[in-house]
Chain A
Amino acid sequence: MMGSKLTLNGHPFQIIGVTPASFYGLEVGQKFDVAIPMCSQPVFSTKGPLTDNPVAWWIATVGRLKPGWTVERASAQLDSISPGIFAATVPGQYDAIDKKITVRSI
C-alpha cells in the first residue's frame, strides 16, 4: 500500500503511511478512511478555498498543554490574544461580544 496512489475527487494522492485500524480520529462515532493535508483543501474547492473564507467555520482544533500549564492558564493566555485575532480575521458584521477562544479538556 505504501507508495501507491489513489484519487480523491479526481485528484491523485500518494499514500505515505497508515494509522492503526483502531484509530478513528477524534470524533465519537465517526471514522476516517484517509487523512490528507489541510493545505490541500483548495484543490477540492469549487467556490474558492475555505482556507481563505472568513466566514467558513470548518476547522476543529486540539492541543497538548505544555508542562506546568493548566486549562485555566491556557484559557487566560488565549483570552489575551483573542481580541487581536478576531479583529484581524472576522468580518465586522459579527458581534464583538464573546469573541474569544477558550479551552476545554477532553
Chain B
Amino acid sequence: MTAPCFPDKSKPAGGASAVTTWQRPDGRTAYRNLERPALWRAAIAKKSGIRNSGNPNPRARHRCEYDHLPTAGCSTFAHPAGKGSASNWPSFAIVNSPHCCNGNHYSTNAALTGALWNLLRDQQKAFSQIAAWAPDRFNLGQGGEARYADALMVSGEFLRCTWRTATPGAAHIPGG
C-alpha cells in the first residue's frame, strides 16, 4: 500500500475545514493549518489522553520525556493550563477559548505567534539566552519526484541556547 502523498488535504470526520493532514514516516498523522471544530478537538484530546486541551498532537503527551534531553537548565514557555486541564500538562489557554480555533497550530510545542515571540524576546528579563524553533518539511528536489527533509526553523540563539556547536551531523544553514 502506497503511503499518502504529502500533503494529503483532507477533512476530519465530523466536519471542519481547511485541515491539512499527512502521514509521517513513522505512521502517525500530522496536522497543519487547523480550523478545528469542537467535536474534533475533543476527539483528539481523548485520543491523546489530554483532557480539555486544544493541542491536537498526540506527541504532546510525551512532554515529560524532556527530562532526558541534554538541555538541563532550559525552560519552555507555554500558556498556563486552562480550566479543567490536568495540572501536569501544558495546554493552550487561547485554544481552549470558546471563541478560538481559527489559529494555525504548527509545532508540537507551539505556544506563540510571531508577534508574541518578538515581544517576549525583547521584554523578558529572566533568561540569558532565549531561542525559538518551529518544525517544517521541505522538498529537496529540483523537479521530478519530491524528496522531503525534516527541517527546523530556528532563531539565532537556538544552537547557542542548546549548547551545541557545529560538528559533523545535520546541516545548519545561515542566518537567524
> What is A's interface to B at a CB cutoff of 8 Å?
1, 6-10, 13-23, 25-41, 44, 49-67, 69, 71, 73-74, 77-78, 81, 84-86, 88-90, 93-95, 97-106
Q: Which residues of A contact B173 (CB under 8 A)?
A: 13-16, 34-37
Q: Are A6 and B140 in contact (CB under 8 A)?
A: yes
9 A-B pairs with the lowest CB-CB distances in the bound complex, closest first: A37-B175, A58-B106, A98-B93, A17-B166, A74-B126, A63-B127, A21-B169, A60-B109, A8-B138
B129 interface contact, C-beta 8 A: yes
User: What's the least CB distance linking A45 to chain B, in Å?
Assistant: 11
Instruction: Verify A90–B150 contact, CB threshold 8 A.
Output: no
Contacts of B2 in A (CB 8 A): none
B111 touches A40 (CB 8 A): no
Q: For A74, list chain B residues within 8 Å (CB).
A: 75, 124, 126-127
How many of chain B's residues touch chain A, expressed as a range? 35 or more
Given contacts A61-B130, A69-B126, A104-B75, 7 further A-B contacts (CB under 8 A): A19-B172, A28-B69, A36-B175, A62-B132, A63-B128, A65-B128, A85-B116
Is the CB of B42 closer than 8 A to any CB of chain A? no
Q: Using Cβ atoms and an 8 Å threshold, which residues of chain A touch B106?
A: 50, 56-59
Q: Which chain B residues border A36 with CB–CB below 8 Å?
A: 151-154, 173, 175
Are the CB atoms of A62 and B172 closer together than 8 Å? no
* A63 and B140 contacting across the interface, CB-CB below 8 Å: no
> Given the known A-B contacts A60-B108, A61-B132, are A94 and B100 also in contact in the complex, defined by CB atoms under 8 Å?
yes
Contact status A40-B175, CB under 8 Å: yes
B23 to chain A, nearest CB (A): 15
B22 within 8 A of A: no
Minimum C-beta distance from B166 to chain A (A) = 3
Complex CA–CA separation, A52 to B118 (angstroms) = 11
B119 touches A33 (CB 8 A): no
Q: How far apart sit A94 and B106, CA to CA, in the bound complex (Å)?
A: 18
The complex places the Cα of A9 from the Cα of B58 at a distance, in Å, of 27
- In the complex, chain B residues 119-137 whose Cβ is within 8 Å of any chain A Cβ: 119-120, 123-136
* Contact residues, B55-110 vs A (CB, 8 A): 59, 62-63, 65-69, 71, 73-80, 82, 90, 92-100, 102-110
Does B112 make an interface contact (CB < 8 A)?
A: yes
A60→B154 contact, CB < 8 A? no
